[in-house]
Amino acid sequence: LVERMRAFGTTIFSEMSALAVRTGAVNLGQGFPDSDGPAEMIAAAGEALNSGANQYPPLPGIPALRAAITAHEQRFWGLTRDPDSQVVVTAGATEAIAASILALCEAGDEVVCFQPYYDSYAAAITLAGAVRRPVTLRPGADGRYHFDEAELRAAFGPRTRLLLLNSPHNPTGKVFTADELALIAELCHRHGVYAVTDEVYEHLVYTDAETPHIPLATLPGMADRTVRISSAGKSFSCTGWKVGWATGPAPLVSATLRVKQFLTFVNAAPFQPAVAVALGLPDSYFTEFRDVLQARRDRLVEGLRDAGFGVLPSAGTYYVTADITPLGGADGAEFCRAMPQRYGVVAVPTQVFYDDRDAGRHLIRFAFCKREHVIDEAVRRLRAPA
Ligand code: PMP
Ligand code: GLN
């Protein structure tokens, strides 16, 4: 293994899912739903499979999917893009993240991101030979995560090439506010920096959030310097299909495509028309989906509180963060390794998403994208430790 990848072990998600399988614990670790997405979408994939859509699709994705991606962006976020030059379909958001970073960063360039961060960010930045400049999100007195303006300003410098932003944010459930985004946009403009935004949870912002989801690309001047990434996995409960996309100005999208063609070339043909169908579902699908997840969040949050965890508010995503100190825990990694024995439940230690592990040492992440009876069983077990 090359020197620069040696610090990266197996991803925490695979490790914790394997632990759940081995021990029979309820898996609230890795974020994947335990029920299928919309029936129309599943049916469309079956039809595509049975009607010969089984060879290489066009490199940037099939036209129907690219058209559906731009129509969806227009409908929900008011962004207008050309489906032929400003969209690329990828193997999940993960490939879009890696390809855009590899396409835009020279070795030694710096990427400003927020920690905790989704684990593939550090690896993709490292593969590019670039350097991450993490800015820490910390829970404030209100329990919500905040960053320090001076710390963000100081992270930008002459070598900054990219700003990488995830909102709604995994693992904290934070949704970045208009003011926070305005500051980020100002710094991108001032330093001539491109943005890559990971918005895979764009439809999962709960009704009690202090802000709706605002794509950074919708701020003045930002559409021209932002690669916006999303994925079907989280919005349509099909994480195993690995259909994602990136949209943005033609030069940035074509740079991303240049790299992407040598990572995977193209992606699973029969899922593409199916995701096009899903993206065209009426608004009611998206609000009902959010409402279902919100009810699951509330169910889990209440159960975690009853079990004695400190619970930080989650305004979006599939996740909620719990503080283990009230239960006598100090180190989330140790705590999570012992959880199958003690509780019969698996969660993920938040510290693995930080460069500065101390900042998240006492925090663990639970996924609530599970059926009610699964959440109830997990809560029953958490209330009655061995
Ligand atoms: N970004 C974030 C913030 C995620 O939580 C995930 C996991 N769904 C991904 C990217 C990867 O998405 P995909 O499975 O579409 O590659
Ligand atoms: N995004 C999911 C999570 O955060 C898992 C993705 C993965 O396993 N790579 O749990």
Based on the domain organization, do 197 and 243 belong to the same domain?
Answer: yes
Based on the domain organization, do 244 and 259 belong to the same domain?
Answer: yes
Based on the domain organization, do 303 and 252 belong to the same domain?
Answer: no
Based on the domain organization, do 165 and 78 belong to the same domain?
Answer: yes
Given this model, what pLDDT does residue 55 score? 98
Find the ligand nearest to 368 CA.
Answer: 2
Based on the domain organization, do 111 and 214 belong to the same domain?
Answer: yes
Based on the domain organization, do 215 and 105 belong to the same domain?
Answer: yes
CA distance 201 to 206: 11
Burial of residue 85 (number of CB atoms within 10 Å: 0-12, 13-18, 19+) = middle
The pLDDT > 70 percentage for the chain reads 100
Based on the domain organization, do 182 and 291 belong to the same domain?
Answer: no
**pTM, 2 dp:** 0.97
Q: Which residue has the tokens 């460069």?
A: 355
170 lines ligand 2 (CB under 6 A): yes
Given this model, what pLDDT does residue 153 score? 98
What's the gap in Å between 135 CA and the centre of ligand 1? Answer: 20
- What CATH number is attached to the domain comprising 235? 3.40.640.10
Given this model, what pLDDT does residue 160 score? 98
Which residue, 241, 264, 281, sits at the end of a domain? Answer: 281
Based on the domain organization, do 75 and 86 belong to the same domain?
Answer: yes
Mean pLDDT computed over 175-198: 98
What ipTM, to 2 d.p.? 0.98
Mean pLDDT computed over 269-282: 98
pLDDT at 100 over 90: yes
Q: Contact at 8 Å (CB) between 162 and 105?
A: yes
- What CATH number is attached to the domain comprising 17? 3.90.1150.10
Based on the domain organization, do 241 and 298 belong to the same domain?
Answer: no
Which residue, 248, 281, 314, sits at the end of a domain? Answer: 281
Nearest in space to 118 (alpha carbons), one of 304, 348, 347: 348
Q: Contact at 8 Å (CB) between 196 and 226?
A: yes
Based on the domain organization, do 193 and 292 belong to the same domain?
Answer: no
Query: What is the number of domains present in the chain?
Result: 2
Q: Are strands 160-166 and 87-91 parallel, antiparallel or unpaired?
A: unpaired
Q: Contact at 8 Å (CB) between 296 and 370?
A: yes
Reported confidence tier of residue 143, pLDDT bands at 50, 70, 90: confident
Based on the domain organization, do 124 and 166 belong to the same domain?
Answer: yes
CA distance 213 to 202: 6
Which residue, 243, 264, 281, sits at the end of a domain? Answer: 281
Find the ligand nearest to 236 CA.
Answer: 1
Based on the domain organization, do 54 and 200 belong to the same domain?
Answer: yes
Nearest in space to 289 (alpha carbons), one of 28, 13, 35: 35
Ligand 1, residues at Cβ distance < 6 Å: 31, 92-94, 118, 166, 170, 198, 200, 231, 233-234, 239, 244
Q: Which residue has the tokens 């991803």?
A: 11
What's the gap in Å between 242 CA and the centre of ligand 1? Answer: 9
CA distance 190 to 157: 10
Tokens of 180: 């926070």
Domain limits for position 28? 3-37+284-383
Mean pLDDT computed over 216-241: 98
Find the ligand nearest to 229 CA.
Answer: 1
